[in-house]
Structure formats: C-alpha cells, structure tokens
Amino acid sequence: MLTGGELDVLTGDYLAELTMLILGRQRAKDPTRGYATTFLRQLETGLGEARARGVKVVANAGGLNPAGLADAVRTLAQRLGLDVSVAHVEGDDLLPRADELGLGGALTANAYLGAAGIATCLRAGADVVVTGRVTDASLVVGPGMAHFGWGAAGSSTDDLDALAGAVVVGHVLECGTQATGGNYSFSARHDVRRPGFPLAELHADGSAVITKHPGTGGAVTVGTVTAQLLYEIQGARYAGPDVTTRFDTISLAQDGPDRVRISGTVGEPPPPTTKVCVNTLGGFRNEMTVALTGLDVEAKAELVTAQLEAALDPRPQTVAWTLSRLDTPDAATQAQATALLRCAVSDEDPKVVGRSFSGAVVELALASIAGFHVLAPPGDGTPYGRYTAAYVDNAVPQHLATGVLHQPPATTRPLHPVPDPELPEALTGPTRRVPLGTVFGARSGDKGGDANVGVWAESDAGYAWLAHELTPDRLRVLLPETAELEIHRTLLPNLRAVNLVLVGLLGEGVASAHRFDPQAKAVGEWLRSRLVDLPVTLLEETP
C-alpha cells in the first residue's frame, strides 16, 4: 500500500472479538503485554517509507495496552533512526470498573470508542496513532474528521451524513481484500490469486470511491463491495458511537474499471449507550475426530456415538457431535472414502474434558468399528472464552487522546427497527431447480453467538425474487440447522440484498468452537449450494 500509489493514511484493523480474549490472556500473564506485536513487526519494514511519503498510520493494534504499544513504536523509531511523532487513544478499558458496571467476572471489558480521539491525535501532528478498542470504522472516520473538520466540538448534529458515509467506507476497508475479490461468491470471474488491498478516495460529504492501486490483483466491483457491506451486520440501522448509519440508504455505482462510488448514505444521531466487548472465561473444551471409512458410515457413526456416550463419566456439560460426509462411493483414494465424526465437549472442570474424555475415545480403538482411527492423539482440555455484548451510558468511557477528554455526543436517539420497505412485484413464469448460488451471492459471519448471512442479487428482478422468497421460514427449510432459531430479516433494496440474523447459531461464540464452522464464515456458501426453483428469466440473465 505504501509503494503502490498515492496514499494519505494507512489503516490497520487488528481487533476481532476473539483477539481481545487472546490479548486478555496475554495481559494476565504479563501486564506489559496486551497489544498486537504483529503490528510492530510490520511497522519495522514500513515506517521509514511512510515517513518519507508523508503517510499517516492509524491502527487499533494497541488492544488492551495502547500506551504500551505507543512506547514500543517510539523505541522502534529510535532504533531505526526516524523522527516519528506517536500518539495513542485510551479510555476504552472498563475492566477496573467491571464490578461497579455489573460486568463482574470479566477477563476483558472494552467500550467501542468513536473517532474523535484519533482526529485529535492527527490534528496535533501525530505520524502514528495507535488505539485500543475503537469501532473498526473509526480508523477511517477519524482521519475524515481531522481532514474535513466533521463533528466539531463533539456535536452529534454536525455532519451526520458525512460521518455515516465514512462509517460505510470504514466497513468496506476493515477486512482488507474481502472488498477486492477475497472470500467472494463469484471469484471465478476475476483473478483473485493475489488480490490487492482496497483504498478509498474520501470526499468532504462522506461519499467515496473504493478502488485499489494500479496493477494489483483482484477486482473492485459493485458485487465485491456489496459483499463486504453485508458482512457481520444486523439491521438497517448500524449503530456507532459517533453516528447511526442507515445501511438502507447506501447507493453503489460502478465508476470505471476497479472503481465503485458510494454515495447517498444518511446518518442519524447515535444511540445513548455505548457497546462494550466483554470476554469471560467460559470453561474448558476439547475435541476428537474419528475417521469412518468405506461402507455403512451411518451405522458406524451410531456405534461410535453410543460407545463414547456410555463411556463419558462424568459427562461434560456440553457434548456436540458432527458427522461430515466427505466420503464418495467407489473412491479412488482412502481419503475420498472417509467421513469424519467429530465430538466437541466443554465443561467448567478441565479434568472432565481432559484425558478422561480424549482417552475414552482412544480406548475404543480395538473394540469399535472396522478401521477405527482418530485424527489426533488424546490431549488435555484447553480454556475457552465467552463473548457477550454489554451496554453502558455514553458518559461512562473516558475517551482520552493527547490529554484531551472527549465528551460524548450531545444529541442521541434510541435505536428502533426500520419498517420493511414495500415489496416489489413478485416474479412469475416457469422455473428450473438449480442451486441458489447460480444467481445470487452471499456473505456470512459471526456476531458473538449469532450469525448473519447477507444475500444479494445482481438485478432488480433478482432482488424481487429474494424479497418474496427468502423469508425466515424459507431459510429454516433451506438450512435445517436453523429450524429452531429466531431469525431476523432486513430488506436492503438499495443494495438489492436481504440480510438475515440467525440468533444463537454459534452458541457461546467462536472461542467455544462447538460448530464445524465456529465463525459462520461459510454459512452463506452452504445456503448458495441449496436447490431452489428459480425463474427461468433470472437464469437467462446470469453472466
């Protein structure tokens, strides 16, 4: 990004929900840690280039210790012989007040701060700004505030649309090459062997063009940008500490090769509460996988399951079985003839999920199915975390940057669901039974214990079919694992998309890892593989 073309600000998002848990465990062992050391390694090779080109660096790699990371960056700059001004943003860490705030038992408790502190650091002349837990989009909104003067004096009524537009840009950029063809349903249309990173040309009104450096791989299309906009969202109102962004107002347009213009985004005052990322130790987990080879896979799975269930004494609090039918008939290789039976367990007592569990699996080796073998030796259980979202009054976090305490927005507005827009006219005519993904793209991800799957069409007619057909009830039929779940649907006609939130699909979240796909990254592709009756007219217009 530094050498490929023009750039003013280089951002880096290092803090997934799971990362905060990992950093929390690091800090518990060593109070001087708690930040992303990968950032330092990357900065070592790029800091000199950034200074030479006048590029500012803004990253949330400070994690649980932004002051410590800032000091480490200063030490690195001194060692490299560079004159670098480094600033940090803090005040997100609420762990010292956890009991007072009703967050007792937390390993980490961090408020999602807004962008004002980043803007203050940049206005004060910082070359490198590191933060703790700010919102992902703040890494883009902060430079926008600093450059264009948005949100002066902390007023939430100033520049709401511009702030919302920058939030959208931040959401597009935060996952890097996911916006340029990575993890894209239609990747076969583009050369995505080495996609280039996206960049944004941000304007004073909050509109922007998403593009990438010349000569880099991948693609920037309305489709690749739509896919990223649908990643890990919930309703039409996307709440943040600076602004609530209306995702149902976003307009996308192809603006030339590898250029997509984003415009029209509407902003509203933020909610009166601030979201807090709370991680607690959930207990201990373990898993074993048994290979089932050749004939009678279902019967073999039943026998192993019955034998191990009888041997679990004491029985772990959670026992989850997954049979993955990876086998094919008359297979040419042993791997192709093998299905996998996975058993994942969790409990508060590490002994219950330790050798008493994994050893019990191995002890079946000479007394179970023909061809019994496991994919890993027995081992002890490992600790896992539990993520929950809490909410505190906006005045609780002490948002500090360069000695400035930033006050929360003066005007707020409670969040309410946006009523569904009027449905377009339904499609009629002959149909053909094909995979849903023949016509539609999808992107899915995790939000704590919930998952979302966003499905988009490439034409108005395709959106009309989605809006009528892809209902929560229909999704429960297509994805039987969601049959008992609460499902929330949001229509986004501007993006020709439908977003569905699957409440509780992931149980206690990614760290518990009970599901085959614990972050729901592939739920969208599973949905696309399901057979549906699609109008022939849609199939005829498919590229």
341-379 in b/e burial notation, b at 16+ Cβ within 10 A? bbbbbbbeeeebbbebbbebbbebeeebbeebebeeebe
Task: Report the pLDDT value the prediction gives residue 514, as an integer from 0 to 100.
Answer: 74
Does residue 65 contact residue 108 with C-beta atoms inside 8 Å?
no
The residue ranges of every structural domain in the chain are 1-93+103-150+398-405, 158-268, 279-386, 431-540
pLDDT score recorded for residue 513: 61
Helix %, strand %, coil % of the chain (to 5): 30, 25, 40
pLDDT of residue 152: 56
Element (H, E) at 46: helix 37-53
Q: What are the pLDDT digits (tens) for 366-389?
A: 999 999 999 999 999 998 888 889
Contact yes or no for 452/232 (Cβ under 8 A)? yes
What's residue 18's pLDDT? 82
How far is residue 143's CA from residue 123's CA, in Å, rounded to a whole number? 9
Q: Which residues of the chain have pLDDT under 70?
A: 152-158, 510-513
Angstrom distances, CA of residue 55 to CA of 75, 89, 215: 19, 19, 21
Assigned token pair, 458? 């490439």
Cα 355 off chain centre by: 34
279-386: CATH topology is Alpha-Beta Plaits (3.30.70)
Which tokens go with 500? 């569905």
Residues 6+ apart with CB under 8 A from 79: none
Residue of 246, 249, 384 whose CA lies nearest to 316: 384
pLDDT number for residue 385: 87
In the block, residue with structure tokens 């569990």: 357
- Report DSSP state, residue 113: B
Would you call 153 helix, strand, or coil by DSSP? helix
Nearest C-alpha neighbor of 192 from the set 231, 220, 227:
220
**How many residues comprise the chain?**
543
CA angle 247, 61, 9 (to 5 degrees): 65
262 and 255 Cβ atoms separated by less than 8 Å = no
